Amino acid sequence: MKRWFGKPAPAPEIAVLMVCMGNICRSPTAEAMLRAKLAAAGLAARVHVDSAGTHGYHVGDPPDARAQRHARTRGVDLSALRARRVVEGDFDRFDLVLAMDEDNLAELQRLGPADHPNRPRLLLEFASRAAAREVPDPYFGGPEGFEHVLDLIEDACDGLVDHLRGRLEGAA
């Protein structure tokens, strides 16, 4: 626990989980991008952000080197992140569970309790400039795919920060 002048730092008030299939491209990019935007907005201490995959293909692995390289050009560092798989307890620990695409949203709905109040949603619901509903998987594509993913995620994270700010102000 962090301490500030001998007092424990307050616990985050909202928790957000970003989810894709393997947790090595899109969801870690979204996690790190949201963290950077929350820090710039002065909200980092109030929101906990994590990411996970619906499948366990890459558990323990760092994000894809291409995702890291492209994110770094925008000042976003993914290097400390490691892939993990979604677990049932995530539905209780996180206030927002955000999928990158419809397939992973369906998998989250299958994995999570049917009556849970924190129903999974699509990340791009928070985008204001993108017409897309899904963040496509850039894994088998070239550099332009990673840049497109960053554009979509950055747009959605801008809207998500506004949404979170509103929730935090409403709770105060």
Q: Does the residue 102 lie in any domain? A: yes
Render the burial of 75-94: b for 16+ CB within 10 Å, e for the rest: ebebeebebbbbeeebbeeb
Answer with the residue of higher pLDDT: 76 or 113. Answer: 76
pLDDT of residue 161: 98
Q: What is the CATH number of the domain that holds 116?
A: 3.40.50.2300
Q: Are the beta carbons of 79 and 68 closer than 8 angstroms?
A: yes
Q: What is the mean pLDDT of residues 122-149?
A: 96
Convert the pLDDT of each residue in 78-115 to its tens digit. 999 999 999 999 999 999 999 999 999 999 999 988 77
Q: Does the residue 108 lie in any domain? A: yes
Q: Which domain holds residue 109?
A: 15-171
Q: Does the residue 151 lie in any domain? A: yes
* Count of domains forming the chain: 1
Answer with the residue of higher pLDDT: 128 or 171. Answer: 128
Indicate yes or no: pTM above 0.85: yes
Residues designated catalytic: 20, 26, 137
Residue 6 tokens, joined:
């001998």
Q: Does the residue 9 lie in any domain? A: no
Render the burial of 105-131: b for 16+ CB within 10 Å, e for the rest: bebbeebbeeeeebebebbbebbeebe
- CB neighbourhood size of 40 (10 A): 11
Give the residue from 139, 130, 134, 131 showing the smallest Cα distance to 121.
Answer: 134
Q: Does the residue 8 lie in any domain? A: no
Q: Does the residue 50 lie in any domain? A: yes
pLDDT band at 6 (very low <50, low <70, confident <90, very high): low
Q: Does residue 2 carry a pLDDT above 70?
A: no
Q: Does the residue 10 lie in any domain? A: no
Q: Does the residue 65 lie in any domain? A: yes
Convert the pLDDT of each residue in 56-71 to its tens digit. 999 999 999 999 999 9
